[in-house]
Amino acid sequence: MSIRPPCRTIPGVPALIGLSLTHRTAPLAVRERLALAPAEASDLLAAVVATEAVDEAVAISTCNRIEVYVAGADAGSAEWAAVAALARHAGMSAAALGLRLRALRGRAVADHLFAVASGLDSMVLGEAEILGQLRRAHELAREAGACGPLLDRLLRDALGAGRRVRAGTGIARSGVSVSSAAVELAREALGSLAERPVMLVGAGKSSEVTARVLRSHGVGVLRVANRSHERAAEIARRDGRPVALDDLEAHLAVSDLVIAATACPHALIDAAMVRRAMARRPDRPLVLVDLAVPRDVEPAARDIGGVTLLDLDDVHARVARNRAARQSDVTAARAIAGAEVDRFERWRAARAATPTIAALKHAGDAIVDELLARNAPHWDGLTDADRERVEALARAVARRLLHEPMRRVKQAACEGDTAPERAARDLFGLGTDVKPAAPRVA
């Protein structure tokens, strides 16, 4: 596992640990062995929290990442309990798996997870799908009874940070993949693509990705032309239509957008074919996007009236502009996520004072209860309503007197200062046992 940077330990608060394996740290073959279906994730969480070392656990499993977050009294024991459980699931030794895992503790856990939720750690910068995946992981951990107060707050704050980043920046606006940039250029030329007839020429991986991007833009009339009918049908799916390459010209005449990406060694769409197709649709523009090398569309088609031809140079230029534009968004996104991490860390630090604050409240209530019981025999003339008013007044006075000490103890804990907490325990005779009891979130 990676060398851990120094992290602040908060006395009396469970240690926070994260284990991360992503497309950057492990090949697909390893990620496949660690992938967790929902039932497997539930079993893993149950196994981890069944150990004495771990109090809380959450597991996230996507195509590009497998991550486990745990909380426990001892960081080292909790970390290795999680590693061991993951290794058993993958059929690997804990030592071999540990070489692939990135281990995080303390604030670094929130730094990482909030960046993930913000789309800053995704293969496609700013992608929003991760928010739904985090939400499902949170729900699954709660259903399994593995998500306690610390991880519940961590996940809720991470989701909030992700939403704020997307609302406050343009990080998810501009595409930085070839397919997304190609579709953006087409939208600029045609306007909305919803309900426009679109044709993909070729059925390789590029066309598959492009089909997903097109559907996200509302395209509902999708034709896929390919030599293999089965592969074309697979990409077209139920809402599309596979077509034969021999019928390419006929479909050019009825398509508003054509995106070509084949491995053909020569142009499949020549200028003469485009000219004949345009003669059958004189008042409708046609956008051709050529993503192939060698080209699928003859460059001379660019000179035909009503035709917009975009090639890979155009698309790559758009990707470069989008990447440059996103750098300012990345800086702003990191600032928003960092502020949310600060807020979470203040909350986590304040939990160190929770036992003392609870003890102060208990001491105040005990004094009120004792005085009410001692004086009750002298209040024979009071009605029940009068007794309730006296009790309410006594409890209000106790709360008002204790409010400022409790606020200062909590504020000091947020700043890592335990002196006010010790002083409060001495002044109010609360003792020295400050171990918190952390009930599970149902």
C-alpha to C-alpha distances, 168 to 120, 137, 411, 427, nearest whole angstrom? 14, 25, 29, 47
**Which residues, in sequence order, are CB contacts of 425 under 8 Å at separation 6+?**
356, 359, 431, 432, 434
pLDDT of residue 80: 94
Percent of the chain at pLDDT exceeding 90:
49
By DSSP bridging, strand 56-61 and strand 102-105 are unpaired
Residues in the chain with pLDDT values less than 70: 1-12, 124, 173-176, 352-353, 409, 412-421, 424, 431-442
Which domains can be identified in the chain, with CATH numbers?
15-168 (3.30.460.30), 178-310 (3.40.50.720), 351-427 (no CATH)
C-alpha to C-alpha distances, 246 to 121, 132, 235, 274, 290, nearest whole angstrom? 44, 42, 19, 14, 19
pLDDT of residue 3: 39
pLDDT of residue 122: 79
Question: Which residues does the annotation mark as catalytic?
Answer: 63
pTM (two decimals): 0.63
pLDDT of residue 4: 41
- Residue 178's nearest CA partner among 218, 151, 207, 142 is 207
User: Could you read off the pLDDT of 315-347 as tens digits, one per residue?
Assistant: 888 888 877 777 778 889 999 999 999 889 888
Do residues 261 and 202 touch, judged by C-beta distance below 8 A? yes
Tell me the HSE value of 281 on the side-chain side, using a 13 A CA sphere: 20
- Tokens 């409790």 belong to which residue? 406
Separation CA 180–CA 158 (nearest Å): 27
